[in-house]
Amino acid sequence: MPFSLKILGSSSATPAYGRFPTSQLLQIEQEFFLIDCGEGTQFQLLRYRCKPNRIGHILISHLHGDHFYGLVGLLATMNLGGRTEPLHLHGPPPLEEVITGQFRCSETWLHYPVHFHPLEPVASVIFESETVTVSTVPLQHGLACTGFVFREKPRKRRLNKDALPENLSPHQLRRLKDGKDVHDEHGNLLYTNHQLTLPPRPSLSYAYCSDTAYHEPIVEHIRNVDLLYHEATFLASEAARAADTRHSTTVQAAAIAQLAGAKRLLIGHFSARYKDLQPFLDEARSVFPATDLATEGSTFSLAE
Ligand SMILES: [Zn+2]
Ligand SMILES: [Zn+2]
């Protein structure tokens, strides 16, 4: 089952060279999380044939415009599209006022419930389902800003099709999937669960580190993630500017990935001053080889 990330935008504050401001769509099994929602996100969803009505949660890292100016438009489109399913919106407390104020002024009444969950800039679990736990990571930026960590819960063992006898009933198959042994109608043990199942695939994890200065305390929250996104607004030569604006450079993002023991790194939030992104890749890979650019339309699938 899927664990897949689609990049919708990779630009920092001002649009440049066809790049859109930050947004990503993460699918874990049948749950869809939209992470940040820069201007134009709904056009990017259309472009890459992602269905907005499948999104159950929208998470906004902070209230710089390049991370949420696309939100009202997207929520309104969901309304026009006939959405009735509830939507969970997670973001800094003032976001609620921004959204309700804009809808009030435009006399737009949503036909679906939006449940607003205020985020505080501390590490905490903000959502939990049977499949996944989502936590916040405090980042260091000009205003309150949180990253997000998605960790799959331990998965169930898989049926071993080569070992399965043909005569098992649907009830017995269900028991196997639930990790139980198989008995006959008299309660006698026929097969142990381990005889007929394989170990589960490993649980996967993704960490999203939105706008942030180089900040080593992040590391303890994102240890050993399978996939890490960390912003890299500037090349290494602009370290002073990065520190001034509370952003990171390529090599700083790569250093965080290395310290955290991440398996793969994605970098994005590229400054409009750069057209060519190859130097970003080269610099980050010189520190952390398993790096890719989080550019528009890229998909990173950890499980099919
Ligand atoms: Zn930004
Ligand atoms: Zn920002």
d(CA 171, CA 177): 10
pLDDT of residue 14: 85
Residues ≥6 apart with Cβ < 8 Å to 43: none
| pTM of the predicted structure, to 2 decimals | 0.92
CA of 297 to the centre of ligand 1 (A): 19
d(CA 140, CA 230): 13
CA of 33 to the centre of ligand 1 (A): 19
**Which ligand has the shortest distance to the CA of 246?**
2
Nearest by Cα to 230 from 249, 260, 253: 253
**Which ligand has the shortest distance to the CA of 144?**
2
The secondary structure element, H or E, covering residue 41 is helix 41-47
CA of 91 to the centre of ligand 2 (A): 14
pLDDT of residue 304: 66
* In the chain, domain spans: 3-155+201-303, 158-198
CA of 205 to the centre of ligand 2 (A): 24
Please give all residues whose CB falls under 5 A of ion ligand 2, grouped by chain where several chains appear. Answer: 64, 211
CA of 143 to the centre of ligand 2 (A): 8
SS3 of 228, please? strand
Active site residues: 66
**Which ligand has the shortest distance to the CA of 36?**
1
**Complete edge-to-edge strand list for the sheet that includes strand 146-152:** 125-128, 132-138, 146-152, 205-209, 227-231, 264-268, 291-293
pLDDT of residue 103: 95
pLDDT of residue 1: 67
**Which ligand has the shortest distance to the CA of 66?**
1
CA of 144 to the centre of ligand 2 (A): 9
Residue 65 near residue 12, CB atoms below 8 Å = no
| Dmax (CA) of the chain | 75
CATH architecture type of domain 3-155+201-303: 4-Layer Sandwich (3.60)
pLDDT digit string, tens, across residues 11-53: 998 888 999 999 999 999 999 999 999 999 999 999 999 999 9
Residue 193 near residue 180, CB atoms below 8 Å = yes
CA of 67 to the centre of ligand 1 (A): 6
**Complete edge-to-edge strand list for the sheet that includes strand 114-118:** 114-118, 87-91, 55-59, 31-37, 23-28, 3-9, 299-303
Can you list the residues of the chain whose pLDDT is less than 70? Answer: 1, 304
